[in-house]
Amino acid sequence: MGTKKIKTYQKLFAVGVCSILLFTVYFYRDPNRTIPNGNNLCVSPADGNILYIEEYNGLPKIYKDGNSYILKDIDKYYKNGSYVIGIFMSPFDVHVNRAPVGGEVVYIKHIDGGFYPAFMGDLSKKNERNIIIIKNGSDYIGVIQIAGILARRTICTVKDGQCISMGQRIGSIRLGSQTAVILPKDKYILKVKKNDRVYAGETIIAEKIKNK
């Protein structure tokens, strides 16, 4: 009887270990993507669903779990207003982030966080995040990586001054959370709406207005 119990525990242990290994492989997957052609396009930086689309004439804001914080450091890039598109990344989505446009990385800022759930207070003081600004011609496109209660780390793999291509890998967020895009609203027409499913490097989320 004791031997049968040991064998049962061994089987359960083996199943648990295999499940963890399979999830790890699944989580760290990094599939190739078909990047669309066109310097007038802006693609999604993340896999996930569109959480919100906001329009601003003043300082842009990022929302998460009912909280918000103002992006004071980058308002100089969006003097004529901006669109902010928030993308929810679940733990089951591909966690790799890609460049929404090609260009030069002109601004990178990392803010440490405590990884607390949003209901515990001011999100801007709790959640780790990266702010990346890419200059494409005369336009500035922002990517914000925001960690959540499960996401333990935001990773940026590009450097200030680096030239990158649209769809190029620029970082990741462990276990998902949220990635947001900031676009100059006088230069782009949005091609997505709330709840749309998007894929990093493939889904066109905005198109530049001609002659802008």
d(CA 48, CA 86): 10
Residue 69: HSE in the Cβ half-sphere, 13 Å Cα cutoff: 21
Residue with tokens 């649209």: 166
User: What's the pLDDT at 195?
Assistant: 96
Quote the pLDDT of residue 65.
63
C-beta neighbour count of 5 within 10 angstroms: 9
Residue 169 region, left (φ>0) first, then alpha (ψ -120 to 50), else beta? beta
**Residue 86, SS3 per DSSP:** strand
**Confidence at residue 15, expressed as pLDDT on a 0 to 100 scale:** 56
Q: How many Cβ atoms from other residues are within 10 Å of residue 75's Cβ?
A: 14
Give the closest residue to 51 by CA, choosing from 188, 148, 152.
Answer: 148
Point out the catalytic residue in the list 44, 82, 172, 177: 177
Would you call 50 helix, strand, or coil by DSSP?
strand
pLDDT at 118: 40
Beta-bridge mates of residue 131: 109, 144
29 vs 89: CA distance, rounded Å: 14
In DSSP terms, 85 is beta-bridged to: 53, 181
Q: Alpha carbon of 165 to those of 42, 148, 156: distances in Å?
A: 11, 28, 15
Ramachandran assignment for 77, one of left (phi > 0), alpha (psi -120 to 50 degrees), beta (any other): alpha
Per-domain residue ranges for the chain? Answer: 1-30, 35-208
Residue 177 bears catalytic tag: yes
- Under 8 Å CB-to-CB from 76, ≥6 apart: which residues? none
**If the chain, 212 residues long, is cut into consecutive pieces of 10 residues, what is the mean pLDDT of each piece?**
58 55 57 91 96 89 69 86 92 91 95 56 61 95 83 84 97 83 95 97 95 72
Provide the 3-class DSSP secondary structure of residue 22: helix
What architecture (CATH level 2) is domain 35-208?
A: Distorted Sandwich (2.70)
